Amino acid sequence: MNGRTAWVRAMRRSVAFLALGITTMASAQTVVKIDPGKSGSRIERDIFGQFAEHLGTGIYGGIWVGRDSKIPNVRGIRSDVVAALHAIHVPNVRWPGGCFADEYHWRNGIGPAAKRTVTVNSNWGGVPEPSTFGTEEYMDFLQQIGSEAFISVNIGSGSPEEAADWLEYMTTTQPTSLEKQRAANGHPAPYKVHLLGLGNENWGCGGAMSPEHYVEQMKLFSHFVRNTNPAQKGGEQMKRIAVGWDSNSKDYTDAVMKAWAEKTGDWDIDAVSLHNYVLDGWPPHLPATGFGEADYAKAIKEAYGMDDKIVHQTAIMDRYDPQKKVALSVDEWGIWLAPTAGSNPGFLQQQNSLRDAILAAVTLNIFMRHADRVRMANIAQMVNVLQAMVLTDGPKMVLTPTYHIYKMYVPFQDATFVPISYDSGTYRYGDKSMPRLDAVAARDSSGQLWLSVTNVDPDKPADLVLDVSGKAIRSADGQLLTADRVDAVNSFAAPDNVKPRPFSAQRQGDRLRLTMPPKSVAVLALRP
Ligand code: AHR
């Protein structure tokens, strides 16, 4: 999908690097030239966001086990999952969906547990939705993992009034009936809502709306749904995200941005969404385990295609917003695989392999290169669903290879992009060809320089030499994630099959040499 354009762009990039005087040395060593004296955009930590939908065991079982569970928990929220997520500094969690969001009525999920309304989760398996995990539980979960709220309001089957009430319930400090209700439910202090999704895929599961109809609805919600938390006036203001990217056309983004550019009256947005899954056609059929190089190459090639999608959406947005005031929010992305054998297909359960970790690294690198426009993103999804961070089964929990990438990438949160150039080379398999190397560099707020390098080639190592202009770098130390096979996974029986290990560059004269094993991702601190 649009792979050709990505490839052409990658080749152009290599050529541009060569024109800048960057060479691949005769010994097949690739020079990675980093210029810490120059700065790109700030890499907003929100691009490392997560997504937790009421879907399968993503919430029930995966996060919420109930206060009486034998699984260790704090107020019903399982402690092993909290500890794991806390360690990766999740900036925000998109909730309650997805498609579920446009059928969610928040009042079902507040108040005494025994009185919550039970409904049917018609999008995901047709199973009962007990509403046990509601607003209070979500906010408690965020507080436990140290994250911020990204609430998607129901535009499809809800009303502006219902959504406005929800925001009043969560954020007001005025002595209103809803404020009193929140206090009676155990939280007198207002909550903060960092991000507000104005619907979800309203071109599809969110109501099959035409772009024009969606824009009119979105404006109503943007106007009436107010965050009145006094602590969020000014700098910490809630950001509103409109729906964009209709997978079949460019119409949604265009309609939303046109309305924004011609805006009259009191409404606004801060971002437009883009959803994109690696899935090689519908229904999703790429295997999660036991696959070979052909499926590996197909998936990674498609992951590189994210760049095209961003460029395409950015071009539309640039027409109306050349100053890039409105962000692109890639608030659903990841690899969507064939479901685990024997699982409910509506639960979207899948294993997670080294391939998926490499795909995550490549995708996060693309976001960072587009940090001027891509300022928010959410991998789908956090626990037990699609490309998850952790998998659980009753009391058992395992960290996935993708989790390790998120942990290794923590230093890039809120760092500043640093220009980097290298000849990426080519990895080919069958009719698929793509950049073999993928690297980004950034400087964190303490001035520390970080480098991430991915060697996509599953067979050949890559020999790199680091050339940091204007700075004597004496060491490059960090972590490396690889395994013996691209389809290597962590299971409950073998939870550490794929895990990072310490990794360093070796000194070569006045430079540092890095030998990247095949199919590997490294994140290194470059120190003087
Ligand atoms: O993440 C699974 C589903 O994919 C979401 O609910 C929906 O928004 C998307 O189509």
User: What are φ and ψ of residue 432, in 5° steps?
Assistant: -100, 130
Give the residue, by CA position, lying nearest to ligand 1 atom 4: 98
Q: Which atom of ligand 1 is nearest to the CA of 53?
A: 6
334 in ligand 1 pocket by Cβ < 6 Å?
Answer: no
Domain borders along the chain are 21-40+418-527, 44-413
What is the reported pLDDT for 9?
45
379 CA distance to ligand 1 middle (Å) = 11
Cα distances from 341 to residues 121, 347, 395, in angstroms, run 22, 12, 21
At 1 the pLDDT is 31
Does residue 502 contact residue 70 with C-beta atoms inside 8 Å? no
Q: Which of 201, 212, 262, 293 is catalytic?
A: 201
Alpha-carbon gap, residue 22 to 355, rounded angstroms:
30
* Tens of pLDDT, residues 35-91: 998 999 999 999 999 999 999 999 999 999 999 999 999 999 999 999 999 999 999
Q: Do 108 and 134 form a contact (C-beta atoms < 8 A)?
A: yes
Question: Looking at residue 446, what DSSP letter applies?
Answer: T
| CATH of the domain spanning 21-40+418-527, picked from 3.20.20.105, 3.40.50.300, 2.60.40.1180, 3.40.50.720 | 2.60.40.1180
Ligand 1 near 98 CB (within 6 A): yes
Spell out where 81-182 has E strands.
92-95, 119-121, 127-129, 148-153
In DSSP terms, 328 is beta-bridged to 272, 374
Distance CA 89, CA 23 (A): 37
Token code pair at residue 505:
């560059």
Asked if residue 103 has its Cβ within 6 Å of ligand 1, the reply is no
Q: Which residue has the tokens 């961070």?
A: 389
Instruction: Indicate left, alpha or beta for 126 from its phi (over 0: left) and psi (-120 to 50: alpha).
Output: left
DSSP-derived secondary structure for 457-525: -SS--EEEEEEETTS---EEEEEEE--SSTT-B--SSSTTSS--EEEEPEEETTEEEEEEPSSEEEEEE
Does the beta carbon of 52 sit less than 6 angstroms from any atom of ligand 1? no
For residue 50, the surrounding DSSP H or E stretch is strand 49-51
Q: Is the CB of 53 under 6 A from ligand 1?
A: yes
Alpha-carbon 493 to chain mean position: 28
Tell me if 240 sits within 8 A of 222, measured CB to CB. Answer: yes
Instruction: Name the β-bridge partners of 416.
Output: 42, 443
Task: State how far the Cα of 467 lies from the Cα of 469, in Å rounded to an integer.
Answer: 6
Amino acid sitting at position 462: A
Residue corresponding to tokens 């294993």: 351
For ligand 1, whether the C-beta of 144 sits within 6 Å is no
| Protein residue whose Cα sits closest to atom 5 of ligand 1 | 98
Closest C-alpha residue for ligand 1 atom 3: 98
Rg of the Cα atoms in the chain: 23
As given in the structure block, the two tokens for residue 382 are 């956090």
User: Is residue 162 annotated as a catalytic residue, yes or no?
Assistant: no
Residue 8, CA atoms < 13 Å, CB-side half-sphere: 5
In this structure, which residue's CA is closest to atom 7 in ligand 1? 98
Angstrom CA distances, 424 to 30, 33, 367, 480, stand at 8, 12, 18, 19
Q: How far is the CA of 284 from the centre of ligand 1 (A)?
A: 13
CA distances from 74 to 110, 384, 439 (A): 18, 20, 40
Look-up: residue for tokens 């106007």? 223
- Does residue 435 line the site of ligand 1, with CB under 6 A? no
pLDDT number for residue 472: 81
Residue 185 backbone phi and psi in degrees, to 5: -85, 10
C-alpha triplet 118, 121, 126: angle, nearest 5°: 110
The separation between CA 233 and the C-alpha centre of its own chain, rounded to angstroms, equals 26
Read off the pTM.
0.94
Closest atom of ligand 1 to CA, residue 204? 10
Indicate if ligand 1 lies below 6 Å from the C-beta of 246.
no
Best of 57, 122, 332 for a ligand 1 pocket test (most atoms within 8 Å of beta carbon): 332
Token reading at 161: 């009034």
C-alpha distances in angstroms, 511 versus 31, 111, 467, 526? 10, 62, 7, 12
Instruction: Say which CATH superfamily domain 44-413 falls into.
Output: Glycosidases (3.20.20.80)
> Residue 407's Cα: distance from chain center in Å?
13
Q: From CA 337, how far away is CA 173, in angstroms rounded?
A: 45
Are residues 450 and 523 in contact, defined by beta-carbon separation less than 8 angstroms? yes
Q: CB burial class (10 A; 0-12, 13-18, 19+) of residue 69?
A: middle
Quick check: CB of 295 below 6 Å from ligand 1? no
Instruction: Quote the mean pLDDT of the chain.
Output: 93
Q: Tokens in use for 379? A: 């991998």
Whole-number pLDDT of residue 7: 36
User: What value, to the nearest 5°, has the Cα angle with vertex 227 and ends 231 and 416?
Assistant: 65
Cis? peptide before 339, omega within 30° of 0: no
Q: Which two tokens stand for residue 381?
A: 């999804």
Closest C-alpha to ligand 1, atom 6 = 98
Tell me which residue of 319, 353, 374, 338 sits closest to 486, measured CA to CA: 353
Atom 8 of ligand 1, nearest CA residue = 98
* Per-residue pLDDT tens digits of the chain, which is 528 residues long: 333 333 334 333 433 333 333 333 434 899 999 999 899 999 999 999 999 999 999 999 999 999 999 999 999 999 999 999 999 999 999 999 999 999 999 999 999 999 999 999 999 999 999 999 999 999 999 999 999 999 999 999 999 999 999 999 999 999 999 999 999 999 999 999 999 999 999 999 999 999 999 999 999 999 999 999 999 998 799 999 999 987 767 789 999 999 999 999 899 999 999 999 999 999 999 999 999 999 999 999 999 999 999 999 999 999 999 999 999 999 999 999 999 999 999 999 999 999 999 999 999 999 999 999 999 999 999 999 999 999 999 999 999 999 999 999 999 999 999 999 999 999 999 999 999 999 999 999 999 999 999 999 999 999 999 999 877 889 999 999 999 999 999 999 999 999 999 999 999 888 899 999 999 999 999 999
